[in-house]
Amino acid sequence: MGAVTVKVDASGQLVIPRDMREQLGIPEGGDLRLSVEDGELRAVTVAAEVKELRDLVRPWRREHGSAVDQLLAERRIEAALEAVEDVDREAAHSARAAIFAQLGRVGDGC
């Protein structure tokens, strides 16, 4: 379906033609996310936006694994370093810097 012209009523509402709603998978009562980009109104289904975000993070997840697993691993490392820090503060600081550098987060946690 190509472009169509619709009327905006006094309350600001408009009707999206049934064919377009079906094509986009917009159910009755469904949600759309609206934005203005370059002077144009853009309407995106929430499902399409979720898919776009998943596609965006998918390569990162493959490379780095689960964010939850990574966070848990970092917390375990921090707990172990805190135990070492009680004994030798300088050694713990050096170990922390080396670990976070390996994780690609230079300077974090120091």
CATH number at residue 13: 2.10.260.10
Say yes or no to pLDDT of 62 above 70.
Answer: no
Phi, psi of 45, deg, nearest 5: -70, 150
Q: What is the C-alpha to C-alpha distance for residues 38 and 58, in angstroms, rounded to an integer?
A: 28
The residue that leads in pLDDT, 12 or 64, is: 12
Q: What is the pTM of this model?
A: 0.47
> Across the chain, what does the average pLDDT equal?
79
Domain closes at, from 64, 81, 96: 64
Say yes or no to pLDDT of 54 above 90.
Answer: no
pLDDT at residue number 10:
96
Give the three-class secondary structure for 34: strand
70 in the same domain as 60: no
pLDDT tens digits, 86-95: 666 676 677 7
Say yes or no to pLDDT of 33 above 80.
Answer: yes
70 in the same domain as 59: no
